Amino acid sequence: MAGPPSHDDPTTVDPAAITHAPTSTTGPVTLAPAAPGPRLRADEALTIATDFEQRYELGGELARGGLARIRDAYDRVLHRRVAVKQLLARGGDADVRFLREARITGRLAHPNIVPIYDLGLDADGAPFYAMKWVEGRSLHDLIEARPTLDERLALVPHVIAIADALAYAHAVGVIHRDLKPANVLVGDFGETIVIDWGLALEAGAVDAPVADAAPISAPRLTSVGSVIGTPAYMPPEQARGDAVDPRADVYALGATLYHVIAGTHPYAEAETSAATSDDGPIWARVLDEPPAPLATLCPGVPAELAAIVERAMARRAAARYASAAEVGAALAGFVAHHQSHRLAEAAVRRDDELAARMRGARTDDAGAVAAIYREADVVQFGLEQALQAWPENPVARAGLARLRARLFDFECAVGNLAGAAALADALPADPDRTRMLVALRADLARRDAEAEAFARARDRSIGGRERTIMLGAVGAMLAYFLIEALVSHRSLDDAGATRRILRNAIVVAAPTLAMMWAWRKRMFANEFSERAGRTVAAMLVVTVTHRVLAIVIAQPARDVFVLDMLLIAVAMWTFGGRLGLALGALAVAGAWVCALAPAAALFVYNGAIIGIAVLLAVAWSRAARRE
């Protein structure tokens, strides 16, 4: 609504024209200076009003109640915009109440309480008072304009300012008794002003209710009578008409905060009732039971804030905060913790999703396990950031404990003993977790023993030195037989060649088997060594046996080497592995050469055996060094 025109015109005034105006003028009196001096601007001229109409230029009506109305006005004397409250109905104790309201408000000098500038009688002889003009909206209107909880939570600092104003009023012995969002103005520059102290009660004063007045059922209107206040915001003792103390304002402050959070006043659901009598639903609910829990109306409300409201609106005055200052301190703590709350709530939402993923995750799927670890790191980071902002954040502390407990179970399922033990140390002592750790250690010890046994069974370093010496001895003996054949010019066609190659086989086999027997604890200490030893022993035994049979059946010596090479190939293939396959192929190639070139069979056979021995020794030695 447009206000009255401004009168701050800086045009200058001629001192000679400034005179003592007669007292019958309708405007403020402009006084001339005592002696001629510099020219004055109009807004610097000293003016004094002698009556209401001289001083105030009234504008439109801003608000109206049962006893008074507030109008926009301009103070011609002090050149400022003000709000003027005028009594509407005279008679009874209305004048007394109005003047008491002005007097009480006037002595409450606090930045969050509307200041009184003037008190007097208007042109009709009715009392009025002028107060600070606040450019802004009521807290009630701001709540209505903010549909989401996050938007309304931004209004909490205004409730803290209200608590400061009430704490000051209580300190000087004044109880408001009608606090509600409609009686709080929020200025365009963030100022918070508590207004309408018409029902305020001074310490030690006895209220004198209007005898013929009765309570009203509308939840947001003020009743003046045997019970005074606004039903939805008053405590039970005030609704019963009992004497009240500052804790009644604490309740109303909690109800105002309830309205800020929920977006609607306490007991709003009772408005849907058809009962509208004096004993209607609002009064009955105020007397009989608390309003609907905030968590029901606003599931996302921070637990800390809901707890503040619950305590402030306790049914028994003794259970409430002892003072409005305590409410303000609790809310200031919440505002400081709000960012921590937001971080914690976001992390808890992700943790709920993580819990569902963990329940269906396969612990043998490395990709799924890694994804869960990454998400858990994100959740843990959010909770730790929330605790860094506020170390006592209960949501973050509980969320971190839940996450760690769940991760402990997951680490046990994965088999990560170190991770599970670290989490157990970070969690409170728990017998079940202790038993799980003991079981996990035993299981991992069993697995380690099995893995160690498996690795030992295939460890080529065990008995490696003994196998190398044995193969070296075999190679040396075969080399000797080869040199002997070259020096003596003996041929496989000589008489007794078959017996000679049998002798050579026995000469090689006997000491080799003796060494294997002597070093059996090392050479047969694991699966690999045992398999290698059985292969070598079998090859030697088969070779000697075959050569004995060759003498019995009179097999030519040249053919003996071909068959020996094939038997050696079968032994190598039986040993297995890529090395066994390669050596078996080498033995087959030797047999093929012996068959094609019988004259060179002796040299090919001995050379092949020496090569196989050398290759085995080198391969086993290198494998042993790697292991």
Give the residue numbers marked as catalytic.
Answer: 178
Query: Could you identify the residue written with the tokens 């680490």?
Result: 411
CB atoms near residue 618 (< 10 Å): 12
Question: Do 265 and 257 touch, CB atoms closer than 8 A?
Answer: no
403 to each of 246, 346, 347, 374, 561, how far by Cα in Å? 44, 14, 10, 13, 73
Contacts of 223 (CB under 8 A, 6+ apart): 213, 214, 215, 216, 229, 230, 231
Copy the structure tokens of residue 31.
């006084």
Strand arrangement, sheet containing 56-64: 56-64, 68-75, 80-87, 127-132, 116-121
What three-state secondary structure class fits 119?
A: strand
Q: Sort strands 136-138 and 184-187 into parallel, antiparallel or unpaired.
A: antiparallel
Q: Residue 175: in which H helix or E strand, if any?
A: strand 174-175
How does DSSP assign 515-571, residue by residue?
A: HHHHTHHHHTSSHHHHHHHHHHHHHHHHHHHHHHHHHHTT--HHHHHHHHHHHHHHH
CB atoms within 10 A of CB 182: 23
Residue reference for tokens 């760690």: 404
Give SS3 for 61: strand
CA distance 218 to 281: 10
Q: 491-497: long-range contacts at Cβ-Cβ below 8 A with a sequence spacing of 24 or more? A: 491/599, 492/556, 492/557, 492/558, 492/561, 492/598, 492/599, 492/601, 492/602, 493/557, 493/558, 497/557
Q: Is the dihedral of CA 534, 537, 543, 547 positive or negative?
A: negative
Find the DSSP H helices in 6-126.
52-55, 94-107
Q: Which helix (H) or strand (E) holds 14?
A: none
Does residue 625 come out as left (phi exceeding 0), alpha (psi in the -120 to 50 range) or beta? alpha
Contact 75, 117 (CB under 8 A): yes
CB-based burial label for 600 (10 Å; 0-12, 13-18, 19+): middle
Structure tokens at 363: 């612990």
Closest listed residue to residue 511, CA positions, set 479, 474, 486: 474
How open is the CA angle 612-618-621, to the nearest 5 degrees? 135
Is-contact 169 110, C-beta < 8 A?
yes
Q: Is the dihedral of CA 511, 512, 515, 517 positive or negative?
A: negative
Residue 93's φ and ψ, nearest 5 degrees, are -105, 20
